[in-house]
Structures are given as C-alpha cells and as structure tokens.
Amino acid sequence: MYFEKVKAEYVDGKRKLIPTGEPDVFYPADDVIIAIGQENRFEWIERDLGIEFDKWDMPVVSPETFASTAPKVFFGGDAALGPKNVITAVAQGHQAAISIDLYCNGLDISDRPAPDTKLFSTKMGIHEWAYDNDVTTDNRFIVPQADKKETLSNRLKEVELGFDLATAFKEAQRCLNCDVQTVFDEYKCIECDACMDICPTNCITFTTNEDDENSLRMKLLVPAINQEQELLVSDTLKTGKVMVKDEDVCLHCGLCAERCPTAAWDMKQFNYNTAKAGHLCYA
C-alpha cells in the first residue's frame, strides 16, 4: 500500500494536511481494510437562499442558537460546527430545537432558557446516604473478549463479551460520585475540627486566610499544588479562620459530613437537566 506523505499545519486553529511533495511511502501488508470517513457536502443547497457559507464550504452557524444566516434555517450535529461525537450532536439538536420553538412563538432566540439544576441532600439517616459512598481500591476491570479464532472467522461475532453481573457491579462501585458535592455552611460550623481530623486524604484545613492564593495553597495540611483545581474557601468563621478544601483529592466518601455534629457539611447531589424546547420558563 502506498501512502502520500503529508504534514499538519494549523490555519486559524484548524488542522490542515498539506502534501510534502516527498515520494509516496510503501508499506507491505497482508490485508488492507479501507475505512471510509464521512464529510459534509452541501452542493444541494442553492447558494441564493440567504444561507451564508464560509471558506470551508460550511454554513455559518451561531454556536449558541445554531441558527444560520437565513432566519428560518437551523443546523445541528456534524452539519453545524463540524464532526464531533454523538453526545454533542444531540445537545446541539436540543439547542436548535429551542431556537426553532422560540422563533415560532415570535420570541427572541438569543434569550435562552436556563438549564434545570437542583442540589439536594443525600442524607438518609445515621451512616446512610442516598448514594453508595464506599470507596473501593479496585483497579479497572478488563472486559472479557471472545476467542480470536471465532471473532476473526465470523465478522458478525461481537468481540467484547461484557461483564458478568458480579464484575459489572464491582466496576460500577468504582464510580467517584462526582455528582455528590460536599457543601459547607459557615454559620453552622462550631470549628471542632472533626472533619479535618477524619478526612482520609487530608483535604480539609482550618487556617487563617492569606491575601495571596498561592501562600494559602502552601499552608494546607498537604499543599495543594494542582493549580488547575480551584480551592473551596469558606467565609471567615467565628475564630477568624477559614475552612479550605482541596477538591483535587476529595473521595466524596462523606466522612466529613458523617463526623460533623451540626450538619455544617452535607453531601448534596447535583442534578442537571439541559433546557429543552417547549419549556415553561418562557411561556
């Protein structure tokens, strides 16, 4: 199989493959499987409809409203902003649907409805949470595969067999519960240090605040060096100290909330529902 040599160049942040002009390269192979990609082609759209196209021959689409330059035409998925994954395509579809709905109701399409968010306590009783707070030390489980002899001879045979029930359960237990947030109420805190003492990863520190965030980061029980992860810093407490939590190492195990005598800590689940067309918030 011969391959043409190209090099990647970035023009306005977009990747472009340009032939280097060098001779083609030969790779010997037993078998060659051709995978065909997909691309956007819009030859079928007449260019006098009022839909503007850019230099890549892609429609000009707003990344917020997914409206084209023609007021009644909307795009979503690969056709809108280029190929991404299916989750993005669905989300864009929702946004386009909201725009269509607003447009049909005679409303401003740039006035977007907010997503529906909720934060609610998962406390159910002593040592009981509505989520599974156990932290497992298991490594990732390997998905078993069918025998190669079989999968290579029968192309309809699925390669990954999937987990059995027990392993699937264990794999699910590895969930980090990042939807469950540690929420701190300053006015309830009596500064008994119980949360600081119990935290298995020493991510909670009660200390005096600093003007400079970096010096505060270095003052924690274990310095918080991952600058990409913001610190949770409370308001000033009664004794003049603040509670600082390094979110970088939190296991969401809930022990801080468990050992808090005044429920100043609570494990709250964060729910996010994306806004959808026909939502009541603009009715």
Candidate residues 253, 266, 267, 268; the one interacting with other proteins per rule CB under 8 A: 253
Does the footprint of other proteins cover residue 261 (CB under 8 A)? Answer: yes
Q: Which is nearer to other proteins, 58 or 249 (CB)?
A: 249
Q: Which is nearer to other proteins, 160 or 191 (CB)?
A: 191
224-229, long-range: CB within 8 Å, 24+ apart, which pairs? 224/248
Phi then psi dihedrals of residue 132, to 5 deg: -85, 105
Candidate residues 200, 214, 227, 274; the one interacting with other proteins per rule CB under 8 A: 200
Q: What residues from 207 to 246 belong to the interface with other proteins (CB under 8 A)?
A: 222-223, 225, 238-239
Does the footprint of other proteins cover residue 197 (CB under 8 A)? Answer: yes
Contact window for other proteins (CB under 8 A) among 18-26, 56-64, 142-150, 186-194: 186-194
Does the footprint of other proteins cover residue 191 (CB under 8 A)? Answer: yes
| Number of C-beta neighbours around residue 260 at 10 A | 20
Q: Which is nearer to other proteins, 121 or 151 (CB)?
A: 121
User: Which residue spans within 103-187 are E strands per DSSP?
Assistant: 116-121, 123-125, 128-129, 180-184
In order of 51, 52, 73, 211, the CA distances from 48 in angstroms are 7, 9, 14, 60
In order of 91, 268, 278, the CA distances from 116 in angstroms are 15, 16, 14
Contact window for other proteins (CB under 8 A) among 26-34, 48-56, 144-152, 201-209: 201-209
Q: Which is nearer to other proteins, 57 or 193 (CB)?
A: 193
Contact window for other proteins (CB under 8 A) among 54-62, 76-84, 178-186, 258-266: 258-266
Q: Which is nearer to other proteins, 80 or 220 (CB)?
A: 220
DSSP-assigned letter for residue 113: P
Q: Which is nearer to other proteins, 105 or 136 (CB)?
A: 136
Q: What residues from 76 to 135 belong to the interface with other proteins (CB under 8 A)?
A: 127-129, 132-135
Candidate residues 259, 276, 279, 282; the one interacting with other proteins per rule CB under 8 A: 259
Phi then psi dihedrals of residue 86, to 5 deg: -65, -30
Total residues contacting other proteins by CB under 8 A comes to: 34
232-239, long-range: CB within 8 Å, 24+ apart, which pairs? 232/182, 232/184, 233/209, 234/184, 234/186, 234/189, 235/186, 236/186, 236/209, 237/186, 237/189, 237/191, 237/206, 238/189, 238/191, 239/191
Cα end-to-end span (Å), the chain: 61
Tokens read off for 16: 């472009």
- Using CB under 8 A, list all residues that contact other proteins: 127-129, 132-135, 137, 190-194, 196-198, 200-203, 222-223, 225, 238-239, 249, 251, 253, 255, 258-262
